[in-house]
Structure 1
């Protein structure tokens, strides 16, 4: 016999906890930063304002959110009520930082309290959270935690805490020996067997249990900004490679 699904109300929803592995319930009593598109539903008096608009009125927002590449992809959620967030059926987890320092893949960060500061990482596609507070992140499958020294597939890497930024390790021997690797290199593609992030020192590395990465909306803007440095011939060559890559995929 199939049991009926639980029916939730504003009074019975979890308080700052998961409703299930894929939905998180925020008890909203103070402002939160939230990624656009993460909101599933809400109870109560809840309002959303673009970070770009809010920063012009509240100086503390500009001090807390220091990432021009990602600022247009975020809003401020404020008011009082229950806010349900999710990410396309991905696993959701909450993490607490206590005077901490954690760098996370920008596309997987869904929301964080205003006690934390967000800064743009020197590693493309990642942001760094500093301070004390809670944040919510998604992952394609459960998250596992490992300690350096460690090398991670860039697609499986979710983030790292309290350890130096990784260096990039290229396995030239695998590329030279593998026909598939050579073809991927020719089309500008790479895999975890050819390129890894190399972690050393103390700290914790977070991995998702899948190599399927969430699309980062800011990557295209970042790449487009850099193409201004190309000559016309270089831009043409890049265009041909991108077309070949699209055809290959």
Structure 2
């Protein structure tokens, strides 16, 4: 079994290769772009170098729709930022260590700030499709963890209040919510969605939580931002349409890019 220490050692080796390939001494931040977010990279900052992330040790190519396997190194003002234009999920037959390896790698390359993005179904009727929601907390329903061993990792402040404050200053209209990560790839039943709502979840998706756990364990500051891709209030709205869900995010590419650019400039 791969331990947390093993995984961090592998991430350190991959970080060395990343810096060699990009010519970077280190990174000031990492941005992970989720489903439908790939084009946001074009609005983040000044491009520098782009490569196929799967060429780096331990990285796997995403297979989920709306995810690219590219890693872009770019400048946001004077800050060097690594942008992962996609991710892998547990539902793609990857284990938790593989899912979080890219995040661990860029943190090992020096990034103290991690911005995790994604799309999510809304469990609330007051969230509009296409609306970005700041993640205040998460519920990990995958039954998995990217950590092993006897040491505890405190997740009581997993999503940085400071970073949420920076984002709220940049866009006062941003709402906050609790994100539930499930494994997938199957969609949830109406009864399961009702259970999530009763448990306090506002959003449901297949990412963020495991990456956040790994990032917090490595003492990075985390911000989560999920765009509402569809209504997920069981049995009330139309059946899930994956193409429409991706398009709901893509329609807001420029706004999302400008928001993240402003946040990165200020942190």
Both structures adopt the same fold (TM-score exceeding 0.5): no
Q: Comparing both structures, which one devotes a greater share of its residues to helix?
A: 2
**Which has the larger strand fraction?**
1
Larger Rg, first or second structure (1 or 2): 1
TM-score scaled by structure 1? 0.30
TM-score (norm 2): 0.28
- Larger relative contact order (C-alpha < 8 A, sep ≥ 6)? 2
